[in-house]
Structure 1
């Protein structure tokens, strides 16, 4: 058990690291991003839509966590999209890679200190609801965080937010509605539902999926929730969009593998990018 003095030292160290990362990024660009986007599986090609891009490898940014998983390039891109200056994270890290949730969410705090007001979190996930299908896109209206160690554990970062965070509207209702309207204008089908967090790296057992279903999850995935919690702690407007890449194991006996997830993500990429770009244009 750490003493209060040790917890305070940890907090001060984290704030120092965030500031060092921010200063490094500011030394590479004078642009002021207003929107942050975390690009999950299938959205990496969105980088090609950006104009006047500054590309910074995560490995060059002090203290920035680096992905180890295929489909996550590990670059911070700052440029123009849909008339907006955005900071796009081309890839993220996950709990199953060995990072704790404070490390996973470090980039969200850096983006907040860069000046973003809105963050869009995207991901690939598996369908729990029988009404969904691979290739569907879903706007997240809420999440289940029971399997997610809290990224807010430890000394509170008072510079960012209050000790106890209201999560009753974890995903900004106005942005959820904006996503629905944008999809309608594009002629796209957009599901809406609850995202259940799973720590991975194993895919879920049938019993675990039935448990998620009983708790009200429509999809299950291994990211996004810790980032959403910290985004709310920072007071950011938050939107989550999922790409459903597979039906979970209760719907068949073929099993699930990462290669299939990447393949379906790539197939849906064009539709996914059009939706995100349309949303950004309206924010």
Structure 2
């Protein structure tokens, strides 16, 4: 008879079992959704995901009920500086919303089905619309630090290497096996955000472009940056696309916004390099501007319920 497994061996077994999984079960998503619904009376139909340095958006909400990610059943933990790691329920202008202060990334060591876990939970608690924000490097030479790019389309570079959050058995209760992505970013929502920018006299800072997602955590080489630009990408970052794919699989409407926090280096004679501190500072500098834009957007959203 073999001796009983030690605590360390049991932990190693659990880790190996985790590595062989291709996703959460429907029951695990439901467990988390039910837990959240039992802890708050807020019933949001719109969710916001805040990117690096943009967590201040969550502070817009009043009558907050906030949870640390570490306290939520099945939730991963955020490990990136500039990501607070809190889920906030609250009201704005009398309407309920939920906001993620910080997201998850594959470069933190999480498989994409973990990175995107909150999206399906949002779907189960009644969310119909998702706003995703990120900090991104500007590939388009016309873009300047502080510009806000409304995402019209994306390029999923990890997807070319079969890194996709929908890999594994399809859960038909969430969506179809082969969801289309040609309409990933909602046209009506894009019109609303552009109208809000015009009202705030931000038209010169507002852009519409293509976001390219890479794996990270290193920033791009000059050759890689030139390649991405030649493919039609206007901005590049390390997030957002997996969340959008799962949101569309669930039938959520999506608005994506990139805050241009640095100009991507594409000249071998350039002496500057990208760094995360620069990204966080640019996010901090533009936080108030983005707060005003999102606040006005939500006012338009509330008046346009027939669209949603």
CA–CA distance in 1 between the matches of 2:157 and 2:183?
17
Deviation at 1:280, TM superposition (A): 1.4
| Alignment-derived partner of residue 259 in structure 2 | 243
Cα shift at 1:41? 2.0
Match of 2:37 in 1: 26
Alignment of 1:123-202 (within 5 A): 123-148=134-159, 149-188=163-202, 189-202=205-218
CA distance, structure 2, for counterparts of residue 212 and residue 203 of structure 1: 13
Query: Is residue 2:278 matched to residue 1:266?
Result: no
Q: Which runs of 5+ in 1 are unaligned?
A: 1-5
| Alpha carbons 1:84, 1:281 under 8 Å: kept | no
Distance 1:123 1:27, change over 3 A: same
SS state of the match for residue 130, structure 1? coil
CA distance in 2, matches of 1:11, 1:138: 33
Deviates more, 1:145-154 or 1:72-81: 145-154
2:132 aligned residue (121, 130, 142): 121
State the Cα deviation string for residues 151-200 of structure 1 (Å, max 9, x = none): 00110011110001011111011111111111001111311100000100
Other-structure match for 1:104: 115
Q: Does the aligned pair in 2 maintain the 1:143–1:197 contact within 8 Å?
A: yes
Contact 2:24 2:113 in 1 (8 A): no
What is residue 254 of structure 1 aligned with on the other side?
272
Runs of 4+ with deviation above 6 angstroms: none
Q: How far apart are the structure 1 equivalents of 2:178 and 2:246?
A: 12
1:279 aligns with 297
Q: Is the deviation greater in 264-273 or in 36-45?
A: 36-45
**Alignment-derived partner of residue 101 in structure 2:** 90
SS in 2 for 1:201: coil
C-alpha distance in 1 between matches for 2:23 and 2:265: 44
Contact 1:83 1:281 survives alignment (8 Å): no
Considering only CA atoms, is the larger Rg found in Structure 1 or Structure 2? Answer: 2
- In structure 2, relative to structure 1, the CA distance for the partners of 1:132 and 1:12 (3 Å cut) is closer
TM-score (norm 2): 0.87
From 221, 235, 260, the equivalent of 1:205 is: 221
Match in the other structure for 1:3: none
CA distance in 1, matches of 2:156, 2:60: 33
Deviation of the 1:35 alpha carbon = 0.3
What's the RMSD between the two structures over aligned residues?
1.6
